[in-house]
Chain A
């Protein structure tokens, strides 16, 4: 039910609306709940509303941490 997916904003329209793209599919999405969204930003989309912007730097850090934790653990085994 709380499923939501990160999608990229490809177009900003009037009245807090935007077009987002996810896996090649485009759809309208409301930006009424967030501020300062721009084309190229990733947003987490839920029931037609962007809930928050995704922070690409934090995403990169998390992925790096996965790799580091895993490498260290596999080396220790």
Chain B
């Protein structure tokens, strides 16, 4: 596949690994180490799947961030989706990723479906809209989750629903924002409980940045003196981004650099941004699984489009549900603990039966380590 295979080339990876190794030896302080957070689950997955961690020198540490929308979706929101299907008789359309998320009362969307809930997997929100058009007798609700990548498509269908005058289509909006989560990791009250996170820089999102551009990260570079390198999701992209971060740290720079220049500009996709601004507004606060309440970190549907807001159409209320007390996801998402340092990891908490957010999707830090990383530890042991 063009623009995919070339960016996974093993020979080029060896060269980049050598370049990273040399760069880390050029630090003013030869004993220093580097800790970088990759925000996105897509990067976490690439690092684990392609063995990037094994190609890095021992003094470069990758910390897996909270950028997996499935992982950070709080139980209470999944409970609302289940209630729509089971109590309000709605036809709930969802991306397949959400089906296995454990919710309250031992339920998940998959189990709710087996209990008779009309729950359907869609590839695109446009499929949910088409279903509503084809079935005027059904109340179709789209369970809208995701970061800035999935938000513009949701905005498109809400606008289309209004143009079509659809009376049986609405959206349970759970869209969240990347920059507010990065800010929260750097400066939340919980940082005091978990201790300081020793982060030397960030690998910035790939596809989120195609939409929002590289500009929103400039704040973190300026305000927190943390370098940010936006990188593509292919393994060579990640390797080059790590090299760029090491060089910035060595040279005492804290800038936003764009490795993913084939798809990301500073301004981003203005057409998509304008659509999102027209349909959505900031929520005052939103709960993130593992991060707790994060102010101004999510979107809700504007009053002008209220008739398509499932939270207004149906009598729904949000209830915060606590995670298992032994779950260390909060510390893991902030990079303070590693997956294997959690008592539940690999014992009661597995990808088949996830207890905490990091185990839910294959992009979560714990699931990625469970699937790809723990074998190395077994060999070393």
The residues of A with any CB-CB pair to B shorter than 8 Å are: 1-6, 8, 22-23, 30, 32-35, 42, 44, 46-49, 51-52, 54-56, 58-59, 61-63, 65-67, 69-74, 76-77
Give the interface size class of chain B: 35 or more
Are A55 and B263 neighbours in the complex by a CB distance under 8 Å?
yes
Within the complex, the shortest CB–CB distance from B243 to chain A, in Å, comes to 7
Q: Which residues of B contact A76 (CB under 8 A)?
A: 18, 22
Partner of A65, one of B211, B240, B264: B240
Are B263 and A32 neighbours in the complex by a CB distance under 8 Å?
no
B290 in contact (CB, < 8 A): no
Tell me, in angstroms, the Cα distance from A2 to B126 when the chains sit together. Answer: 17
B150 in contact (CB, < 8 A): yes
Within the complex, the shortest CB–CB distance from B65 to chain A, in Å, comes to 13
Partner of B149, one of A51, A56, A71: A51
Q: Which of B67, B68, B262 has the most CB of A within 10 A?
A: B262
Q: Which residues of A contact B21 (CB under 8 A)?
A: 73
Are A2 and B3 neighbours in the complex by a CB distance under 8 Å?
no
Are B18 and A77 neighbours in the complex by a CB distance under 8 Å?
yes
Q: Select from chain B the residue with minimum beta-carbon distance to A25.
A: B1
Q: Interface segment, B8-16, B187-195, B218-226, B322-330?
A: B8-16
Contacts A1-B70, A2-B42 hold; do A52 and B263 have CB atoms under 8 A apart?
Answer: yes
Partner of A44, one of B16, B261, B263, B363: B263
Contacts A62-B259, A69-B240 hold; do A52 and B18 have CB atoms under 8 A apart?
Answer: no
The residues of B with any CB-CB pair to A shorter than 8 Å are: 1-4, 6-7, 9, 11-12, 14-16, 18-19, 21-22, 40-42, 67-70, 95, 97, 123-127, 145-147, 149-150, 152-153, 156, 205-208, 210-211, 233, 236-237, 240, 243, 259, 261-264, 269, 271-272, 275, 361, 363
Contacts A51-B269, A55-B261 hold; do A44 and B124 have CB atoms under 8 A apart?
Answer: no
Contacts A74-B14, A74-B15 hold; do A1 and B97 have CB atoms under 8 A apart?
Answer: yes
Within the complex, the shortest CB–CB distance from B171 to chain A, in Å, comes to 14
Partner of A46, one of B9, B67, B150: B150
Are B146 and A48 neighbours in the complex by a CB distance under 8 Å?
no
Contacts A1-B68, A1-B146, A62-B262 hold; do A22 and B12 have CB atoms under 8 A apart?
Answer: no
Tell me, in angstroms, the Cα distance from A61 to B260 when the chains sit together. Answer: 11
Q: Which residues of A contact B205 (CB under 8 A)?
A: 2
Are B361 and A67 neighbours in the complex by a CB distance under 8 Å?
no
Q: Select from chain B the residue with minimum beta-carbon distance to A65.
A: B240
Are B261 and A61 neighbours in the complex by a CB distance under 8 Å?
yes
Partner of A30, one of B126, B233, B271: B126
Contacts A2-B208, A70-B14, A73-B19 hold; do A33 and B40 have CB atoms under 8 A apart?
Answer: no
Within the complex, the shortest CB–CB distance from A46 to chain B, in Å, comes to 5
Are A59 and B262 neighbours in the complex by a CB distance under 8 Å?
yes
Partner of B211, one of A22, A23, A47, A51: A51
- Name B's interface SS: helix
Are B271 and A35 neighbours in the complex by a CB distance under 8 Å?
yes
Within the complex, the shortest CB–CB distance from A23 to chain B, in Å, comes to 5
Are B150 and A47 neighbours in the complex by a CB distance under 8 Å?
yes
What are 21 inter-chain pairs, A to B, with CB distance below 8 A? A1-B146, A1-B150, A2-B149, A2-B150, A2-B233, A6-B4, A44-B263, A46-B149, A46-B153, A51-B152, A54-B3, A61-B261, A63-B6, A67-B15, A69-B243, A71-B15, A73-B16, A73-B19, A73-B22, A74-B18, A76-B18
Q: Which residues of A contact B67 (CB under 8 A)?
A: 2
Tell me, in angstroms, the Cα distance from A34 to B272 when the chains sit together. Answer: 8
Are A52 and B210 neighbours in the complex by a CB distance under 8 Å?
yes
Tell me, in angstroms, the Cα distance from A63 to B236 when the chains sit together. Answer: 9
Contacts A44-B210, A51-B210 hold; do A33 and B149 have CB atoms under 8 A apart?
Answer: no
Within the complex, the shortest CB–CB distance from A55 to chain B, in Å, comes to 5
Q: Which residues of A contact B2 (CB under 8 A)?
A: 6, 8, 42
Q: Which residues of A contact B95 (CB under 8 A)?
A: 1, 47
Q: Which residues of A contact B125 (CB under 8 A)?
A: 47-48
Q: Which of B1, B42, B236, B243 has the most CB of A within 10 A?
A: B1
Are A34 and B271 neighbours in the complex by a CB distance under 8 Å?
yes
Are A70 and B152 neighbours in the complex by a CB distance under 8 Å?
no
Q: Which residues of B contact A62 (CB under 8 A)?
A: 237, 240, 259, 261-262
